[in-house]
Chain A
Amino acid sequence: DAGVIQSPRHEVTEMGQEVTLRCKPISGHDYLFWYRQTMMRGLELLIYFNNNVPIDDSGMPEDRFSAKMPNASFSTLKIQPSEPRDSAVYFCASSPGPIAKNIQYFGAGTRLSVL
């Protein structure tokens, strides 16, 4: 399996623009997670899905952030409008489900810079 695939790897945009990050989870994994990582705040969970349904979005910072999972193989995280403080690395992770260790597998991340 190719692992979790995220695109783009790098995104540079100007304040006020819309940003869309994309994720393809590992096939067969029932859970998908979006994280944000900064030096100041570390790795923060934004939202997670189970079988394409959002379960917990309490980590989504503001209404400017939204996430969708239209099918089992694709998810998006959208920021509209973007602000400089949104600059961070955004990771997507997937896991097979609440069995045994339920290890999360991370994508390579999207490094977002908002100017």
Chain B
Amino acid sequence: GQNIDQPTEMTATEGAIVQINCTYQTSGFNGLFWYQQHAGEAPTFLSYNVLDGLEEKGRFSSFLSRSKGYSYLLLKELQMKDSASYLCAVRDSSASKIIFGSGTRLSIRP
């Protein structure tokens, strides 16, 4: 079966660092994505990991451990505009289809 778990909600302070965790159990694995979705808008691509380790892109970093079925998204120097839902998604063995987690709603307070 397919199962992707991430916290439902998180709150953090402007300027701080926050880590959003994702664990997955899927039939096959061909990469893990993180998408950002602002309220009322479409999801937009943030990061992609297929090998173990850390991928850094500006204020955002994403980590993957395939043996543990675990990933996290790290957001640094938080800004108010980072308030959004963050969706973890895993590409299965078909290499075309991705399964989304329910998302983590991140609220940033001043």
Contacts and interface: CB of A to CB of B under 8 A. Distances in A.
A106 B44 contact: yes
A18 interface: no
Q: Is the interface of B mostly helix, strand, loop or mixed?
A: loop
Interface string B29-54: 00101000000011111001000000
A7 to B, nearest CB: 14
Q: How large is the interface on A (under 10, 10 to 19, 20 to 34, 35 or more residues)?
A: 20 to 34
A91 B42 contact: yes
A104 B98 contact: yes
Contact of B94 (A56, A104, A107): A56
The bracket for how many chain B residues form the interface is 20 to 34
B43 A45 contact: no
Contacts of A108: 41-42
A31 interface: yes
A12 interface: no
A115 interface: no
Interface of A: 31, 42-45, 48, 50, 55-56, 91, 95, 98, 101-109
27 contacts: A42-B101, A43-B43, A43-B103, A45-B97, A45-B100, A48-B96, A48-B97, A50-B96, A55-B96, A56-B94, A56-B97, A91-B42, A95-B96, A98-B95, A98-B96, A101-B48, A102-B91, A102-B95, A102-B96, A103-B33, A103-B48, A104-B98, A106-B42, A106-B43, A106-B44, A108-B41, A109-B42
